[in-house]
Amino acid sequence: MKVRQVAGGLIFNSDDALLLVRNDRPYSKTSDWSTPGGVIDKGETVLEGLTREVIEETNIRVNKWQGPIYCVCVNFPDRGFFLEVQTFIAEAWEGELKVDDPDGIVTDAMFCLPEKQVELLSLSPDWVKEPLLEWQKALEENSGNQEIVNFEYEVSGYGLDDFKIKRRL
């Protein structure tokens, strides 16, 4: 089974708005929103790859990461594929937001307050939106004290039209 290691970064501005990026997926002709990040290349550490991806997608350089704060595992047994996502939070960053993704997938980015996050993430797969929204809710309820949480999903089917998503609790 092929394993793809991915990292995502949570970047908040001074107004506590979260940075989300729009991903235009050419293979499925769909769009969704997520935190910036991407696939870790061979020879990179997770944080090196995450830092590179965030710069490529948003022009923001993160100088210090905390985490991982949550992890997502998604098994696609019909496709022979396993996705591992580690999500970190930026403690210090610099730069001006500018979208210029060399892969052409990220086409927009914005800092969003919670209401807008819910709206934009409604277009995203469950394994993207649920962990992020649940992490934020737990953070608010626990006043910042939180252990690393793991989210596990199994996705059967071969494409967006026939995916059956089951979350393991």
Residues 135-150: tens digit of each pLDDT: 988 888 876 556 778 9
Place of tokens 């992490």: 135
Residue 28 has pLDDT above 80, yes or no: no
Q: Give the domain range for residue 110.
A: 2-168
| CA–CA distance, 35 with 49 (Å, rounded to integer) | 14
Number of domains in the chain: 1
Length of the chain: 169
Instruction: Give pLDDT, residue 146.
Output: 66
pTM of the model: 0.92
CATH number at residue 85: 3.90.79.10
| CA–CA distance, 81 with 75 (Å, rounded to integer) | 6
Residue 33: closest CA among 139, 136, 105: 105
